[in-house]
Amino acid sequence: EVQLVESGGGLVQPGRSLKLSCAASGFTFSNYYMAWVRQAPKKGLEWVATISTSGSRTYYPDSVKGRFTISRDNAKSSLYLQMNSLKSEDTATYYCARHRAMGMEFDYWGQGVMVTVSS
């Protein structure tokens, strides 16, 4: 059974940093592109980052480019999101998601972890 379990969320002040982790199990992690998707309170979904199987290629929307860094450790079946220079508008539930093989859709999602950026 595919499982994605996020951790590392919490309350952080504006301008500070936070690192999220996602522990994957139930599939060969190194074979799949992985991603982070977020959802602000009472808002829709926003794609945050994608990383290739080896980690050599990463993709971001303009809203987080230069501030967020996605990475992975295939030996540990783990995905990470380093978030720097956090803003109040980054407050959201962050989901770890697996890209479907050969596609950019998301075929498995974690339950999400809440990040609150506030002074």
The piece of 25-33, 67-75, 79-87, 105-113 that touches another protein (CB under 8 A) is 105-113
Q: Which CB atom, from 32 or from 112, has the smaller least distance to another protein? A: 112
Contact flag: residue 1 with another protein (CB under 8 A): no
State how far the Cα of 15 lies from the Cα of 12, in Å rounded to an integer.
Answer: 9
* Amino acid identity, position 21: S
Per-residue DSSP letter, 89? G
Question: Which residue's structure tokens are 């504006």?
Answer: 14
Give the residue, chosen from 18, 94, 110, 113, that forms a contact with another protein under the rule CB under 8 A.
110
Per-residue DSSP letter, 31? G
The piece of 7-15, 21-29, 39-47, 70-78 that touches another protein (CB under 8 A) is 39-47
Beta-strand pair 10-12/34-39: unpaired
Give the binding site for another protein (CB under 8 A): 4, 44-47, 50, 59, 61-62, 95, 97, 100, 103-112
